[in-house]
Structure 1
Amino acid sequence: MKKKMILAVLALGIFASSCSSDDDNTSSVNSNLTLNLDGLEALGDDFVYEGWIIVDGSPVSTGTFSSVDFPQTFNVNSEQLAMATTFVLSIEPAVDSDPAPAATKILAGDFSGTLASVNSNGIVADFSTSTGNYILATPTDVDDTNEESGVWFLDNSSGSAVAGLDLPTLTDGWKYEGWAVIDGTPVSTGTFTDPTLADDNAATSVFKGDAGNGPDFPGEDYLQNAPAGMTFPTDLRGATIVISVEPVPDNSPTPFTLKPLAHVVPEEASVRTTISMEVGPVSVISGTVTKS
Structure 2
Amino acid sequence: MKTYLSIATLAILTLVGCSNDDDASTASQTKNLTLNINGLEDLGNGYAYEGWVMVNGSPVTTGVFTVNSSGTLSQTVFPVDATTLDAGTAFILTIEPSPDPDPAPADSKYIAGEFSNDTATLTTDFGPAPGDFTTASGSYFLRTPTDETGMNNRNDTNGVWFGLPGMPPTADFNLPTLPAGWIYEGWVIGDAGPLSTGTFNDFSSRDSGNGFSGTQNNAGPPVPGEDFFNNLPTGESLPFSVVGRNVVITVEPVPDNSPAPFTLKPLASIAGPDTAPNSQSFNNNVAASFPTGTVSR
Among candidates 104, 114, 120, match of residue 108 of structure 2: 104
Q: Which amino acid aligns with 1:171?
A: P
CA contact 1:208–1:220 (8 Å) conserved in 2:
yes
Shift of 1:228: 1.2
1:180-231 CA-to-partner distances (Å, cap 9, x unmatched) read 0123611000000111211122xxx221112221101000011011111112
Q: Is 1:75 aligned to residue 84 of structure 2?
A: no
Q: Supply the distance in 1 between the matched residues of 2:108 and 2:283 (Cα, whole angstroms).
A: 26
1:55-100 CA-to-partner distances (Å, cap 9, x unmatched) read 2221111111112425811111112111111111000001111100
CA contact 1:121–1:284 (8 Å) conserved in 2:
no
Number of corresponding residues: 260
CA contact 1:128–1:283 (8 Å) conserved in 2:
no
Q: Supply the distance in 1 between the matched residues of 2:56 and 2:177 (Cα, whole angstroms).
A: 29
Corresponding position of 2:49 = 49
Relative distance call for 1:121 and 1:192 in structure 2 (3 A) is same
Quick check: which one's helix share is greater? 2
- SS of match in other structure, 1:259: coil
Q: Supply the distance in 1 between the matched residues of 2:51 and 2:238 (Cα, whole angstroms).
A: 44
Corresponding position of 1:128 = 134
CA contact 1:54–1:87 (8 Å) conserved in 2:
yes
Shift of 1:280: 1.7
Corresponding position of 1:151 = 160
Report matched runs for 1:272-287 at 5 Å: 272-280=277-285, 282=288, 284-287=290-293
Quick check: which one's strand share is greater? 1
CA contact 2:35–2:296 (8 Å) conserved in 1:
yes
Among candidates 242, 251, 254, match of residue 248 of structure 1: 254
Shift of 1:283: 5.8
Q: Supply the distance in 2 between the matched residues of 1:118 and 1:132 (Cα, whole angstroms).
A: 25
Q: Supply the distance in 1 between the matched residues of 2:174 and 2:88 (Cα, whole angstroms).
A: 36
Q: Which amino acid aligns with 1:38?
A: N
Name the Cα RMSD after superposition: 1.8
Report matched runs for 1:1-292 at 5 Å: 29-67=29-67, 68-69=71-72, 72-122=76-126, 123-141=129-147, 142-143=149-150, 144-156=153-165, 161-183=169-191, 185-201=193-209, 205-211=210-216, 212-266=218-272, 268-280=273-285, 282=288, 284-291=290-297
Relative distance call for 1:184 and 1:240 in structure 2 (3 A) is farther
Q: Supply the distance in 1 between the matched residues of 2:237 and 2:199 (Cα, whole angstroms).
A: 23
CA contact 1:135–1:153 (8 Å) conserved in 2:
yes
| Unaligned stretches of 5+ residues in structure 1 | 1-26
Shift of 1:51: 0.1
TM-score normalised over the length of structure 2: 0.82
Runs of 4+ in 1 over 3 A off after TM superposition: 281-284
| Unaligned stretches of 5+ residues in structure 2 | 1-25
Q: Supply the distance in 2 between the matched residues of 1:258 and 1:222 (Cα, whole angstroms).
A: 24
- SS of match in other structure, 1:81: helix
- SS of match in other structure, 1:31: strand
CA contact 2:108–2:180 (8 Å) conserved in 1:
yes
